[in-house]
Structure 1
Amino acid sequence: MTIPTATYRIQFRNGMNFDRAAAIIPYLKKLGISHLYASPIFTATTGSTHGYDITNANEIDPAIGGREGFDRLVQALKAERLGLILDIVPNHMAASLENSWWKDVIEHGAESRYAHHFDIDWSRRLTLPFLGTDFEVALEADEIQIKADPATGKPSLCYHDAHYPLNPCSYADQEADLLETTDKKCIADIHSRQPYRLTCWRDASHDLSYRRFFEVTGLAGVKVEDPEIFEDTHGLTLELVRNGAVDGLRVDHVDGLANPKEYLERLRRETGPYCYITVEKILGAGESLPADWPVSGTTGYEFIASLSNLFVDHDKLARLQAAYEATTGQPVDMPSQLREAKLLMADKNFAGEFATLLALAMKILGEETGKPHPDEEKIRTALRELVVSFPVYRTYGTKDGLPPQSDAVLAKVVNTISAGPNAPDADALSSLQRILRSGEGQTAQEFRTRFQQLTGPLMAKSVEDTLFYRHNMALALNEVGAEPLPHPYSVERFHAEMAERLAQQPDALSATSTHDTKRGEDARARLYAITEAPELWADAVKRWQSMNAGFKQMLDDGSAPEPAVEWMLYQALAGAWPRELETTDRRGLQSLEDRFAAYVEKALREAKLRTNWGDSNDVYEDAVIGYARKLLSSENQTFLKDFARTLVPFIKAGSSNSLAQTLIKLTAPGVPDIYQGSEGIDLSLVDPDNRREPAFEALDAQLAAIGDKKDETAKLKQRLIANALDIRRAAPELFGAGRYLPLKVIGNGAECIVAYARVAVDDALIVVAPRLSMRADVDGGLHTVAIDLPDELAHRKYMNVLTKTDVEFGRVLDGSHVARDWGLGLFHRC
């Protein structure tokens, strides 16, 4: 297996196609990238902006160049000796009429060849919740008619531009008459004879007959645990791996699968031992990747969490919390807020999935006793408590029960629930634990699988897509894979996590930005600094609230925006503010305003407090978005000038954090993953903002024009990447099997430095990175510290990788030496 030196993530679609990607390969080569890391390339729904809504897993999407374009890209990569990693999506496909498999299932129901390719409950008719209202209402309004499908000429139930095929048995030889009917009773009768029923989209949360991806009704779960279905869905993927076009695979949402271990073992057998495989897997606090999965590791969200913890000033979080509470007028109670968000998911957003679980539990318990279980409400309460109390995405039980690691997780959850204030009936909870641990039979296995496929989405939607938009104290910590509850942290803990990373998954991806992160890595780096200066930030928010008070509106349900949202708006804007933006630049302000307004709408709806995606509160949204737009009006100069002036120290600290976290990503255990454009300055907001195509021509020109160390941060970051990746290419063993050795920092301000070495036989690399730079400005930082070098590192000559000059160290590495060169140090033994 060839382990990548560094990967570069490309988002296809939105202007990016195979030929466009091929054109930037020379630039990626100069940057030091070893593998292009592609978003899904298989045919997706028309107009897809991301490619995860696949309609044909065995065709390369013509919209981005098709097979011919793909082959040209592969040829161009091989010419430069670069590899290719594909993002594959085994868990789901588009529940779209463009998907021929799905359309065949709609037409033929359980008799379709593909009926069991999708995770469908065939004990009832297939629900298709794609109407804007109830079927009867839509029919009465003449929105549903019988028309010929333009693609096939066959009769179909037509709803606007969608043609749902009719089962041939439902109309026999009446095709001609059927196409001429406008009789509503006849249409209703035909609908009742279909293997499906058209329903309102609002019914999906409580009445859905197929497993979906999270809350996305348009993505239907696929049963890849079946060997035949695995083959049907992976044919082209395996062909591309076996013919050498593809060197690695990234498995999307592995926790959505019925049996991730079994799937990965089959994938490994089919791809062979040399395919580099990583999995998208969110690791909870203290959780590790199952050791028996045949993969190189995760896609790196836990690495982002480690970096976030490292750069946040945990000593001052309490002061920031106090300021936030004073501004909002409400106490911060994260455990309660998390529980509230999870209960919302269990009771509403995933009500249907929960009802299925409850029905399975009652069936199992009834079969055991030979009669219906008398305490359904007790079982319901216990099951509800169990699903909302899980601290990790899921366990990994199979037909044989739970493996030891998963059993320990379940036992800890049950013990916590039993001792908590919301403890359910002990016997009911014990019964559910027993079924999950060792319940035998098909129904118990199904319960175990469904339970495990629910806790992950429930966790993700509760934390990442609800709590992170409700709790706005420190937006830098509201990131995918982060621990939502406050906790102590230290440089020593960071070192321990990196040592553990080296031991458990040394070849995993190390990310700082992805297509799913809540904001770009440089926006996050800047916002870390707010935790260092809580009073400065709080005073600024008070000023800005006063300056912009005239933009607020008082609605029937309260002020818009409310204080918590104001705090969020100013902090999010601080992260996204371009450092070069002048307050008089009308065009620049307008561009930022448009991007920011889209972010605000998403943030309000994801919070699910006064508006949401299903029932939008237009009056409230318009008021808050209007407030956000007025903030950035070129006429609002008093605020804009104060805002830009206040950001100066945060921007400076953010630049230091940006370079430091980049340096760590490039040298710590793992394979550095660079998200498109983030080798420059990435101040993007949440998707779709972070999926915009970067200005590759400008990045290429910038790399070619890099000069001395006085270049601005964007060039320094790009140069740091290029120089460090030169070393990674030249010394792969140093970064793969090389030891991770924490280095002791001594002197005033030592807490503002993180230092470590990577050590292999006859090779070593010393890394010195700043943190808490606003505190360092007071305490002296690098100028007042020294790094103690152990015998194996001391009295040696090194090359300064950043300046390409040689230097010799004795027993210590003087921090002032590092301070002269970009404020960070990277030294490779000569």
Structure 2
Amino acid sequence: MTVPSATYRIQFRNGMTFDRAIELIPYLQRLGISHLYASPIFTATRDSTHGYDVTDANEIDPALGGREGFDRLSAALQQAHLGLILDIVPNHMAASLENPWWHDVIEQGEHSRYARYFDIDWSRRLTLPFLGDDFDRVLQNNELSVKPHPQTGRPVMAYYDSFYPLTPTSWENRVDEVLAITDHEAIAELHQQQPWQLISWRDARRNLSYRRFFEITGLVGIRVEDEDVFNASHALILELVHHGAVSGLRVDHIDGLADPQGYLQRLRKAAGPDCYITVEKILAEGEQIPAEWPISGTTGYEFIAALSHALIDDTQIDALHLAYEAATEERNNLRAGLRAARELMVDRNFAGEFARLLALATDIAGEEQRNFGEAELHVALREMLIAFPVYRTYGRHAGMTLAGEELLQRVLEEVKFSASPVALSFLQAVLLGALSEHSEQNAAEFRSRFQQLTGPLMAKSVEDTLFFRNHVLLAINEVGAEPLPHPFSLQHFHQEMQTRLQRQPDGISTTSTHDTKRGEDARARLYTLSEAPALWAEHVTRWRDLHQLQITPLRDGVAPEPAVEWMLYQALAGAWPTTLQPQDAAGLAALQERVVPFVEKALREAKLRTDWAEGNEQYEKAVLDYTRHLLSPHNQAFLVDFHQALQPFLTAGLINSLTQTVIKLTAPGVPDIYQGSEALDFSLVDPDNRREPDFSTLQQQLSATDTPNFNQQTDWLNGTLKQQVIARMLHLRLDKPQLFRFGDYQPLYATGENAEHAIAYARQDSSDTLLVVVPRLLLNSQGWARAIIQLPEPLAHRRYRNLLSGEMLSLNEQLSLENMPYYAPLVLIAS
């Protein structure tokens, strides 16, 4: 297996094609990348912006250049000695009429050859939740009609530009008669004869007959656990691997599969031992990848969580919580907030999935002749789902793993006073596979669907609800972060890196992705708020006072409310470009164009006063008007004040950015550079983080000079310095792959005055030694001036070269930081 030394993620679509990617190859070489890491490239829905809505898994999207364009890219990469990693999507496909498999299922129903490809409940008609209102209202409004398909001429039920195929048995031998149908009753009768039924999109959360991806009804789950489905959906993927065009695979949403371990074992066998495989998997605090999975690691969200331990000031984070509570005049009980978010998901957003699980459990209880009612089962199942602390367990058809059993026991212990002990014991037996043989088929399905539901519940309740409700420190509201308050410590960071080396040394280490809540440099800047909670609270109070006249009183309260105001100022602080001046009207307009959609999304994801499904137009308008006013060029009193107040956080944030970058490039794992983040990435949540970077400027910056100049302010502000540090470090990784893949990780601790401002560690193998010292917590400090790092014998009495400056150092038993610039990382390689 060729393990990458570093990957570069490119988002195809939105203008990025294979031929445009070819043009970037010389730049990637100069940067020091070993593998291009591509977003999904298979044919997706027309105008897809991301490619995860695949319509044909065995065709390379013509919109990107098709197979010919892909072959040109593959040849160019191989000529440049770069590998290619593909992002694949085994969990779902587009529930779109453009998908030929799905189209055939709609037309033929349960008799379609693809009927078992999708995870559909065939005990009832296939629900198609794509109407804007109830079927009867849509019909009365004359929005439905029967007509010939524009391309095939076959009879369809037309709803605006969507043409739903009629099953042949409902029109064969009477085509003209069917096409002549116009009255509502006849259309309704014809609709009743179909293996599908059109329903309102609002009813999907309660009445969907297929498994969807999270809450997205346009993405239907596929049964990749079935060998025929696996083979059919992976034919082209495996062809590209076997032909050498693709050297690695990134598996999207592994937790959505019925049997992740079985899938990965089948994929490994089919792809061969040389294929580098990682999975998108969110690990909770202390959780590790199952050892049985034949993969190199995850895509790295846990690495972001580990970095927060190194860059947040734990001595003052509680003060920031208190300042937030004072500003909002509310107790910020995150444990209660987490439960409320989970209750909302179980009771409303995933009501249909919950109902299906409950029905299965009720059927099994009947088979087992258990004498308790559905109400008891309802409470017990609900409490277990709400209490689940990780994305899922990994029980298989035969039963639960030992780790899964232990986790279930913890969950049951937590909920033992909240539900019927008898019902809880029964559910435990179902999940452990401890029932009689005649109940096992239903029990296996329950186990599978339970495990496929806990992940979406966790993701939507934490990442997409709680993290948009709690605004204390936005930087820690990140994918993979621990939602409840917890200590942050440098020691914990070092422990996480040592664990990373032991458990997944070849896993991806990321700091920005297409799914992160904010760009890595925005996060690095916002970490610094933990160093000055009183100062930040003082600023927010002053800015709120400046905008009192912009507050709108509404029937359900003022808009924006204090918590949202706090969020707005913090989001703006994270996204503010380094060189934006208060008088720059065009720059303010560009920022407003990005911030307003973010605020709209944040309000709806919070699901408090507005929602995607049940919008509160008055409230949203008031908050968005407030946001626009903040960035109006006429609001100079605030803008000048904000810009001035931001400067210390901006400066300390840029130092944090370099620190987390150097750590990513030298700590265990394979560093990934998300497109454009090699310079500065202050993006907000998608779609803002999926904008194409200015590749022309990035290429020009890197070619100008490759020697980092830490004393050139413009290089800090435009991202050139960060980019040059990355290039220098990535070329070292190319030169010394064994050091970074197998070298041990030795935490080093500074002593003396200002010791808390240094993060230090060594990487060492039999041939090479690397010392890394990077700054932290510099908002109110001049750094590590009097700190000393003691060097153990294997590191002492050696000459080192500073990789970033070229300076030579002779070190004995210690490294004194007194004469070292506190703002510049030290990366020392033994000569």
TM-score (structure 2 length as normaliser): 0.98
Q: CA deviation at 1:4?
A: 0.3
Give the whole-Å Cα distance in 2 for the aligned partners of 1:315 and 1:393. Answer: 30
Give the whole-Å Cα distance in 2 for the aligned partners of 1:524 and 1:363. Answer: 48
Give the whole-Å Cα distance in 2 for the aligned partners of 1:438 and 1:228. Answer: 26
* Maintained 8 Å contact 1:90/1:252: yes
| Corresponding residue number in structure 2 for 1:403 | 401
* Maintained 8 Å contact 2:167/2:195: yes
| Corresponding residue number in structure 2 for 1:790 | 792
Q: CA deviation at 1:406?
A: 1.1
The SS at the match of 1:725 is: helix
| Corresponding residue number in structure 2 for 1:814 | 816
Which of residues 376, 392, 395 in structure 2 aligns to 1:394?
392
Q: CA deviation at 1:776?
A: 3.2
| Corresponding residue number in structure 1 for 2:421 | 426
Q: CA deviation at 1:692?
A: 0.4
| Corresponding residue number in structure 1 for 2:187 | 187
| Corresponding residue number in structure 1 for 2:410 | 412
| Corresponding residue number in structure 2 for 1:377 | 375
The SS at the match of 1:559 is: strand
| Corresponding residue number in structure 2 for 1:827 | 828
Deviations 1:61-102 (A, max 9, x none): 011111111111111111110000000000000000000100
Range that drifts further, 39-48 or 426-435:
426-435
Q: CA deviation at 1:817?
A: 4.0
* Maintained 8 Å contact 2:433/2:444: no
The residue type paired with residue 431 of structure 2 is: L
* Maintained 8 Å contact 2:210/2:220: yes
* Maintained 8 Å contact 1:120/1:126: yes
Give the whole-Å Cα distance in 1 for the aligned partners of 2:672 and 2:42. Answer: 22
The residue type paired with residue 385 of structure 1 is: E
| Corresponding residue number in structure 1 for 2:722 | 717
Give the whole-Å Cα distance in 1 for the aligned partners of 2:779 and 2:592. Answer: 29
| Corresponding residue number in structure 1 for 2:778 | 773
Q: CA deviation at 1:802?
A: 0.4
The SS at the match of 1:633 is: coil
Give the whole-Å Cα distance in 1 for the aligned partners of 2:818 and 2:217. Answer: 57
Range that drifts further, 710-719 or 63-72:
710-719
> Would you say 1:281 and 2:286 are equivalent positions?
no
Q: CA deviation at 1:187?
A: 0.7
| Corresponding residue number in structure 2 for 1:530 | 529
Deviations 1:94-131 (A, max 9, x none): 00000010010000000001000000000100000100
Deviations 1:771-818 (A, max 9, x none): 1112433xxx22110111111011101111101232211111111343
* Maintained 8 Å contact 1:439/1:445: no
Map 1:409-488 onto structure 2 (within 5 A).
409-418=407-416, 423-440=418-435, 441-488=440-487
Give the whole-Å Cα distance in 1 for the aligned partners of 2:65 and 2:375. Answer: 55
| Corresponding residue number in structure 2 for 1:338 | 338
Give the whole-Å Cα distance in 2 for the aligned partners of 1:741 and 1:459. Answer: 34
Deviations 1:663-695 (A, max 9, x none): 000000000011000000100000000000000
The SS at the match of 1:677 is: coil
| Corresponding residue number in structure 1 for 2:68 | 68
| Corresponding residue number in structure 2 for 1:270 | 270
| Corresponding residue number in structure 2 for 1:565 | 564
The SS at the match of 1:24 is: helix
Map 1:232-251 onto structure 2 (within 5 A).
232-251=232-251
Give the whole-Å Cα distance in 2 for the aligned partners of 1:817 and 1:63. Answer: 56
Q: Which of structure 1's runs of 4+ aligned residues deviate more than 4 A? A: none
Give the whole-Å Cα distance in 2 for the aligned partners of 1:148 and 1:661. Answer: 59
| Corresponding residue number in structure 2 for 1:736 | 741
Give the whole-Å Cα distance in 1 for the aligned partners of 2:483 and 2:521. Answer: 21
The residue type paired with residue 802 of structure 1 is: L
The residue type paired with residue 433 of structure 1 is: Q
Give the whole-Å Cα distance in 2 for the aligned partners of 1:619 and 1:774. Answer: 40
The residue type paired with residue 736 of structure 1 is: R
The residue type paired with residue 546 of structure 1 is: D
Give the whole-Å Cα distance in 1 for the aligned partners of 2:550 and 2:379. Answer: 45
| Corresponding residue number in structure 2 for 1:501 | 500
* Maintained 8 Å contact 1:56/1:99: yes
Give the whole-Å Cα distance in 2 for the aligned partners of 1:481 and 1:804. Answer: 38
The SS at the match of 1:615 is: coil
Unaligned runs of 5+ in 2: none
Give the whole-Å Cα distance in 2 for the aligned partners of 1:232 and 1:439. Answer: 34
Deviations 1:517-538 (A, max 9, x none): 0000000000000011000100
Q: CA deviation at 1:151?
A: 2.5
* Maintained 8 Å contact 1:818/1:824: no
Q: Percent identity?
A: 57
| Corresponding residue number in structure 2 for 1:133 | 133
The residue type paired with residue 228 of structure 1 is: D
Deviations 1:431-454 (A, max 9, x none): 111110124511000000000000
The SS at the match of 2:4 is: coil
Q: CA deviation at 1:550?
A: 1.3
Give the whole-Å Cα distance in 2 for the aligned partners of 1:202 and 1:364. Answer: 30
Q: CA deviation at 1:60?
A: 0.4
The SS at the match of 1:101 is: helix
Q: CA deviation at 1:172?
A: 2.4
Give the whole-Å Cα distance in 2 for the aligned partners of 1:480 and 1:366. Answer: 40
| Corresponding residue number in structure 2 for 1:10 | 10
| Corresponding residue number in structure 2 for 1:663 | 662
The SS at the match of 2:397 is: coil
The SS at the match of 1:828 is: strand
The residue type paired with residue 379 of structure 2 is: T
After superposition, the CA RMSD in angstroms is: 1.0
The residue type paired with residue 710 of structure 1 is: N
Give the whole-Å Cα distance in 2 for the aligned partners of 1:775 and 1:549. Answer: 31
* Maintained 8 Å contact 2:520/2:682: yes
* Maintained 8 Å contact 1:782/1:823: no
Give the whole-Å Cα distance in 2 for the aligned partners of 1:439 and 1:458. Answer: 25
Deviations 1:384-417 (A, max 9, x none): 0000111100000111110111111111111122
The residue type paired with residue 825 of structure 2 is: L
| Corresponding residue number in structure 1 for 2:589 | 590
The residue type paired with residue 808 of structure 2 is: D
* Maintained 8 Å contact 1:800/1:825: yes
The residue type paired with residue 73 of structure 1 is: L
| Corresponding residue number in structure 1 for 2:802 | 800
The SS at the match of 2:197 is: strand
Range that drifts further, 435-444 or 502-511:
435-444
* Maintained 8 Å contact 2:11/2:675: yes
How many pairs align?
A: 821
The SS at the match of 2:429 is: helix
Give the whole-Å Cα distance in 1 for the aligned partners of 2:110 and 2:763. Answer: 58
The SS at the match of 2:250 is: strand
Give the whole-Å Cα distance in 2 for the aligned partners of 1:72 and 1:742. Answer: 45
* Maintained 8 Å contact 2:357/2:446: yes
Give the whole-Å Cα distance in 1 for the aligned partners of 2:309 and 2:215. Answer: 30
Give the whole-Å Cα distance in 2 for the aligned partners of 1:486 and 1:748. Answer: 29
The residue type paired with residue 790 of structure 2 is: D
Give the whole-Å Cα distance in 2 for the aligned partners of 1:829 and 1:722. Answer: 19
Q: CA deviation at 1:705?
A: 1.3
Give the whole-Å Cα distance in 2 for the aligned partners of 1:760 and 1:428. Answer: 55
Deviations 1:491-531 (A, max 9, x none): 11111111011000000000000000000000000000001
* Maintained 8 Å contact 1:752/1:775: no
